[in-house]
Chain A
Amino acid sequence: MKKIIEVKHLTKKYRKIKAIDNLSFYVFENEILGLLGPNGSGKTTTINAMLSLLSYDKGNICYLGKEITPDSYDIKKEIGVVFQEIAVFDELTVYENIDYFCGLYIEDKKIRKKYVDDAIKLVKLEQFVNYKPKALSGGLKRRLNIACGIAHKPKIIFLDEPTVAVDPQSRNNILEGIKKLRENGATIIYTTHYMEEVEKICDRIIILDKGKIICQGTKEELKQLTGIEEKVTIEINNLDRNHIEKFKKLQNVKNVEYRFENLEITFIKGKNNFTKLIDYLKKEKISYNKIYSEMPTLNDVFLELTGKDLKD
């Protein structure tokens, strides 16, 4: 795979606080790279540095081997950015907004008109082209914000938490749109603190915490890091304390917890963990309401590596 962006030893300090600390990673052509991390972990700072919007203290950032500077207009031409905050003109309509931001890249009127129409179609704002942003709901505004950033058909797209404060339907629309952009050949860097989104659309994931990369790889690679193969939840009323200790001694069991009438058992790799568990429940005559098995989530990965929940 072709490396499109190389980030090496990137460090940025605000006064004495290191907002990002010695980050090194690649972005490969045509992938969706997820930057996942809780609030304040340095996602926006990383993106701003990669866009040369921000000066940094150490490290370098290269696009196809060329270092980016504020005057690298040839590199910037290939980049599209959707910022975390909504950035549109209140005085202009949806169409005029997209046209203006696209016009910063594309001078030819005919081409631009087509591009703007394509962007409107992509984010499904056809019915609202003549609306002013004030008349749009939060989710529609987000979609406009995205259209403004990608209308010029860039090869590399940065999306900084584009789904914050958006209803599920709009969110799905946005995620669909992003997948479509990748199908059309774009490389995407996507930041979020929603792990479900990352699991849904990202090929590769970098997890950040406190400005540091705590791990990176594909979903599967990251999940292996936890050593967890499977997580089984059983709804049992009034389970005896003694039983919990017995569950812990079963083969391949890593951890057992009993909370709110739910017994959670995590297994390390092994054969037929789930069937063996059901056999055991039968044998011990423990009655239960529900039982289900899940793969570990990225939250489990984060929990394993930092000792805290991603959601907090």
Chain B
Amino acid sequence: MIVFKTFFKVVKEYKYAILLYTLILFFFAIFNLEVNNNNIGFTAEKPNILIVNNDYESKIIDNLYNYLEQNSNIKNIENDKDKINDALFYRDINYLIIIPKNFTDYILNNKETKIYVKTTKDANSKYMDMLLNRYLKLINIYKNDYDNVDNLISKINSILKEESHIEVSSNIKVNNLLKTTIYYNFANYSLLASCLFVISTVLNSFKQEMINKRIIVSSCNYKKHNKNLFLAALSFSVIIWIIYVFISLILIKEAMFSWYGLLYMFNSFVFMVCALALSFLLGTIINLKEAINGIVNVIALGSSFLCGAFVPSKYLPEFVINISKLLPSYYFINNNEFISQIETFNFNSLTKYFINIFVIIIFIILFIILNNLVSKNKRKTN
């Protein structure tokens, strides 16, 4: 008990560092919320799209035009590659749909065909993805039940009408999930910086050679002492984790109070345990207390940049992504991105999620083994 209490007394000395990292996360989240709220307003004005039709003007395609027109502005731009690319770049259009030749025939006759899309990869384009996919899915489901195309179209339209109110709410959901992902990606930095810095520094105090000697000569069981130290460090990181989750619960309620929220929380919890294991390793390796702050910053900032916590990883060059795969942060952030794209919840759709969790757990085990090796070695040389 005294070990536990003393751990937190020492932690108290670093309260300003903890406060600082938490505030950084908090203000980042608020700032992001503002930016993304503007995006939602934009959606209400409807996204701009362009449809290039290489097929003939079939009823199915006509109907797609009509359906999309209800939820977006269909733009008229000359069918010229450069001009279209410019329009995408300057966001004159958010979404480009290219319908291939024979699309109508192929889809009605169960032959392979695919609509090509090019997007600006923002919330608007995700929304369009959803609309388009829903339309195509419904054709595929009902095409064999109806011989007459007109009947098929009226069936599809009636279903689309029913679902339209769901679409609006689901668009908000997509937005919120994006925000949540951005928040938890950034939490990679705050979680690493605060856990690594505070826990390694406090452990360093307990492991100072002379203090350690005092503990060894005392009648307190050394193993039990270290177990208590671990429990205290665990409690500390759980508290930090709870604070960070709590901020997200307040700021991004809609997404967090759902199955998605649970996935984000569990993902970050496992990552927090990973940060804890790494803190123990650092606390053992680093002898000089003054060096800890620097090393922790390199790790927290470095891994955040490399793994796309600040800048989405799709903007990073290939070789950086390859390097980042050696870091646990990559799998944590990758999972955050993945959660926002999940459509249904079942074991198959979550496989990738659990694989990422599994990789992080491997990192945890690795850090624990390394820590044991290093501390054994240290004890021998003493």
Contacts and interface: CB of A to CB of B under 8 A. Distances in A.
A92 interface: yes
Contacts of B1: 103, 107
Contacts of A107: 1-2
A152 to B, nearest CB: 8
A99 B2 contact: yes
Contact of A104 (B9, B13, B220): B220
Contacts of B221: 73
A13 to B, nearest CB: 16
A202 interface: no
B9 to A, nearest CB: 6
Contacts of A87: 208, 210-211, 213-214
Given A87-B210, A107-B1, A92 B219 contact: no
B216 interface: yes
Interface stretch (A23-31, A76-84, A228-236, A263-271): A76-84
Interface string B201-216: 0100100101101111
Interface string A48-76: 00011100000000000000001001101
A88 B211 contact: yes
A148 B217 CA distance: 13
A91 B210 contact: no
B205 A101 contact: no
Given A53-B213, A87-B213, A88-B211, A96 B218 contact: no
Interface residues of B, number: 22
A194 interface: no
A68 B3 CA distance: 25
Interface size class of A (residues with CB under 8 A): 20 to 34
Contact of B210 (A52, A79, A85, A92): A85
Nearest to B214: A87
B172 interface: no
Contacts, number: 66
B205 A105 contact: no
Nearest to A102: B2
A73 to B, nearest CB: 5
Interface in A81-137: 81, 83, 85-92, 96, 99-101, 103-105, 107
A104 B2 CA distance: 7
B3 to A, nearest CB: 8
Q: Is the interface of B mostly helix, strand, loop or mixed?
A: helix
A101 B214 contact: yes
A37 to B, nearest CB: 21
A91 B205 contact: yes
Given A91-B13, A107-B1, A76 B217 contact: yes
B73 interface: no
A100 B232 CA distance: 15
A79 B205 CA distance: 23
A284 B211 CA distance: 65
A100 B2 contact: yes
B209 to A, nearest CB: 8
B361 interface: no
B2 A103 contact: yes
Contacts of A70: 216
Interface string A148-188: 11000000000000000000000000000000000000000
A96 B9 CA distance: 9
Contacts of A103: 1-3, 6
B240 interface: no
A105 B213 CA distance: 14
B40 interface: no
A96 B13 CA distance: 13
A101 B218 contact: yes
A32 B315 CA distance: 74
A30 B3 CA distance: 32
B99 to A, nearest CB: 68
Contacts of B216: 53, 70
Nearest to A75: B219
B10 interface: yes
A100 B6 contact: yes
A92 B2 contact: no
B217 A92 contact: no
A79 B213 CA distance: 13
Nearest to B216: A53
B205 to A, nearest CB: 6
B224 to A, nearest CB: 10
B214 A81 contact: yes
A104 B3 CA distance: 8
B311 to A, nearest CB: 37
A96 B3 CA distance: 12
A46 to B, nearest CB: 14
Nearest to A48: B213
B15 to A, nearest CB: 11
Contacts of B6: 89, 92, 96, 100, 103
Nearest to B289: A90
B376 to A, nearest CB: 15
A83 B214 contact: yes
Contacts of A51: 217
Contact of A105 (B3, B9, B220): B220
B213 A92 contact: no
Contact of B217 (A53, A88, A96): A53
Contacts of A52: 217
Interface in B212-247: 213-221, 225
Nearest to B13: A91
A148 B220 contact: no
Contacts of B225: 104
Contacts of B2: 99-100, 103-104, 107
A90 B9 CA distance: 11
A96 B10 CA distance: 10
Given A87-B210, A103-B2, A148-B214, A73 B9 contact: no
Given A77-B219, A83-B214, 20 more contacts: A76-B217, A76-B218, A76-B219, A79-B217, A87-B208, A87-B214, A88-B211, A90-B205, A91-B10, A91-B13, A92-B6, A92-B9, A92-B10, A100-B6, A103-B3, A104-B2, A104-B215, A104-B220, A104-B225, A149-B214
9 closest A-B pairs by beta carbon, nearest first, are: A103-B2, A87-B210, A77-B219, A104-B218, A91-B13, A104-B220, A76-B219, A91-B10, A100-B6
